[in-house]
């Protein structure tokens, strides 16, 4: 009898437990709310689990960009946020991944992994191509804030929110307005630019470009002329990172003209170059004489006149009297005249911190005075034997940050970025196209 009662008790327990087990099995295996929560969690990129991310992307379908996305609506909530400063650009080459590209540049591995995880739900890493790039922005307190992945078909902005990376899709810009402005600077470039509605990001980029070449306090004065040519993406909000892009800028007065053109190289890298294809942060110098016979190099030597062991702060080139001397780069004459043992001496200022000097001249080029603008390869004078000299020659110096350096080591010291060969040909075509676009706008009259 007891066995029968026990049997029925077990049967009753099974009848109660079996529905519960079936419900639990359905809930956690078939319906699986944990999986849904994980996927939602990954999309917002907070407290990411690496293994969960890897599992999620194994069978993920490629993202297809929706061309009907309204960019203005997407970015409306961000219109009033702080505008961050672009500090770095990384261009994908063959074999690069997000993690390898950032790590090779020196960013922490943890940042590289979080960034890759934030991007993957929108664009899988295997769809990133050669020439795509990542822009990196920082806040005023120098903290990494925004990353922008730019591909041929889309853009993703990844925001750093308390060390959690949140990604949002932004479609490729497609509606531009091209704007050209030319005006006289009345007091300062900043004030005049604001009066003519130059966007803050365009003005900041312009200052970054020109400050390598000129002294704003000294060279920019009332009556100087400023030119801006840029494009406005009408689909983006007023403070969206790439709403404006500078295409051309120039600053001009009686003593100088500095201009830069936007150009993208075949490897995808973008920069701004002067009329000769030299990048804004670089300088390309030529030799000061047509034939350069070095008779004395930079360094310690026995002085040819006094016989003392003294430092020689330049290079001496042997040359017959009245051999033409060429400006090694574009610049402004900041000294011309007699200078002690150097005799007839001329010094050119090429930017805020680089100068070239030429000594022992027989005479200077005609119509050359302090403040005169010279172009690279212009004749600025002629070799001679003036000052403390044993024979006709040119003493040539390079001065960087007010310190005389070995001219032959200049390119090892400064960043050197200029275009050559096919890239230079492409750049010159691009430069001509930009000038034609400016001319087509028919805005040659300077605004008063």
Query: Do residues 182 and 153 share a domain?
Result: no
Query: Do residues 339 and 388 share a domain?
Result: yes
DSSP β-bridge partners for residue 447: 183
Query: Is 24 part of a structural domain of the chain?
Result: no
Q: Which residue has the higher pLDDT, 262 or 80?
A: 262
Distance CA 387, CA 345 (A): 9
* Domain boundary pick from 153, 172, 191: 172
Query: Is 332 part of a structural domain of the chain?
Result: yes
DSSP β-bridge partners for residue 399: 355, 404
Query: Is 122 part of a structural domain of the chain?
Result: yes
Query: Is 314 part of a structural domain of the chain?
Result: yes
Q: How does DSSP assign 80-135, residue by residue? A: TSPPPEEEEEEE--TT--HHHHHHHHT--HHHHHHHHHHHTTTS-GGG--TT-EEE
Query: Do residues 234 and 326 share a domain?
Result: no
Structure tokens at 283: 């300088």
Query: Do residues 151 and 95 share a domain?
Result: yes
Cβ neighbors of 334 (< 8 A, separation 6 or more) are 347, 348, 349, 355, 370, 371
What range defines the domain where residue 272 resides?
Answer: 176-282+419-440
At 14 the pLDDT is 61
Query: Do residues 202 and 242 share a domain?
Result: yes
Query: Do residues 167 and 180 share a domain?
Result: no
Q: Residue 227's domain is classified under what CATH number?
A: 3.10.450.350
pLDDT over threshold 60, residue 275: yes
Query: Is 7 part of a structural domain of the chain?
Result: no
Structure tokens at 49: 């689990």
Q: How far is CA 434 from the centre of its chain?
A: 19
Regarding beta strands 393-400 and 256-264, do their DSSP bridges make them parallel or antiparallel, or are they unpaired? unpaired
Angle at 91 between CA 85 and CA 51, to 5 degrees: 95
Count structural domains, the chain.
Answer: 3
Instruction: Record the pTM.
Output: 0.52
Q: How does DSSP assign 402-438, residue by residue? A: TEEE-GGGHHHHS---B--HHHHHHHHHHHHHHHHHH
Least confident of 62-71, 94-103, 125-134, 352-361: 62-71
**pLDDT tens-place string over residues 380-437:** 999 999 998 888 999 999 999 889 999 988 887 876 778 888 889 999 999 999 988 8
The 10 Å Cβ neighbour count of residue 193 is 21
> pLDDT grade, residue 24 (50/70/90)?
low
Query: Is 77 part of a structural domain of the chain?
Result: no
Query: Do residues 181 and 153 share a domain?
Result: no
DSSP code for 5 = H
**pLDDT tens-place string over residues 292-303:** 888 888 888 776
Query: Do residues 45 and 124 share a domain?
Result: yes
Regarding beta strands 403-405 and 393-400, do their DSSP bridges make them parallel or antiparallel, or are they unpaired? antiparallel
**pLDDT tens-place string over residues 195-244:** 999 998 899 999 888 887 777 777 777 778 899 999 988 877 776 667 88
At 126 the pLDDT is 76
């Amino acid at each position: 009898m007891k066995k029968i009662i026990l049997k029925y008790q077990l049967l009753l327990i099974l009848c109660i437990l079996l529905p519960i087990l079936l419900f639990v099995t359905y809930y956690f295996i078939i319906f699986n709310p944990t999986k849904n929560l994980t996927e939602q969690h990954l999309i917002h990129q907070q407290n990411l689990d690496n293994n969960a991310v890897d599992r999620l992307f194994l069978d993920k379908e490629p993202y297809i960009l929706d061309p009907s996305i309204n960019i203005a609506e997407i970015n409306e909530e961000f219109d009033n946020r702080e505008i961050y400063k672009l500090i770095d650009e990384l261009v994908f080459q063959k074999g690069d991944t997000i993690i390898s590209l950032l790590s090779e540049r020196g960013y922490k591995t943890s940042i590289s992994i979080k960034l890759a995880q934030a991007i993957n739900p929108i664009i899988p890493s295997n769809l990133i191509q050669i020439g795509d790039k990542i822009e990196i922005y920082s806040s005023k307190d120098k903290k990494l804030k925004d990353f922008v992945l730019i591909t041929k078909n889309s853009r993703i902005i990844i925001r750093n929110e308390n060390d959690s990376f949140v990604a949002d899709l932004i479609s490729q810009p497609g509606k531009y307005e091209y704007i050209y402005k030319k005006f006289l600077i009345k007091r300062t470039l900043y004030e005049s630019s604001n009066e003519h509605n130059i966007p803050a990001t365009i003005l900041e980029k312009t200052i970054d470009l020109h400050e390598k070449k000129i002294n704003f306090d000294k060279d920019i004065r009332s009556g100087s002329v400023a030119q801006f040519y840029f494009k406005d993406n009408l689909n983006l909000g007023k403070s969206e990172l790439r709403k404006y892009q500078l295409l051309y800028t120039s600053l001009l007065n009686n003593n100088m003209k500095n201009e830069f053109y936007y150009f993208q190289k075949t490897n995808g890298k973008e920069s701004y170059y002067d009329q000769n294809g030299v990048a804004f942060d670089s300088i390309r110098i030529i030799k000061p004489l047509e034939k350069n016979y070095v008779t004395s190099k930079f360094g310690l030597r026995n002085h040819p006149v006094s016989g003392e062991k003294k430092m020689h702060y330049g290079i001496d080139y042997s040359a017959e009297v009245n051999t033409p001397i060429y400006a090694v780069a574009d610049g402004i004459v900041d000294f011309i005249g007699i200078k002690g043992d150097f005799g007839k001496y001329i010094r050119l200022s090429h930017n805020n911190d680089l100068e070239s000097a030429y000594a022992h001249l027989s005479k200077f080029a005609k119509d050359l005075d302090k403040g005169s603008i010279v172009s690279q390869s212009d004749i600025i004078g002629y070799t001679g034997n003036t000052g403390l000299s044993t024979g006709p020659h040119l003493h040539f110096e390079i001065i960087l940050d007010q310190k005389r350096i070995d001219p032959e080591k200049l390119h090892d010291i400064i960043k050197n970025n200029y275009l050559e060969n096919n890239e230079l040909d492409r750049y010159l075509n691009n430069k001509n196209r930009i000038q034609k676009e400016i001319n087509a706008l028919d805005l040659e009259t300077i605004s008063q």
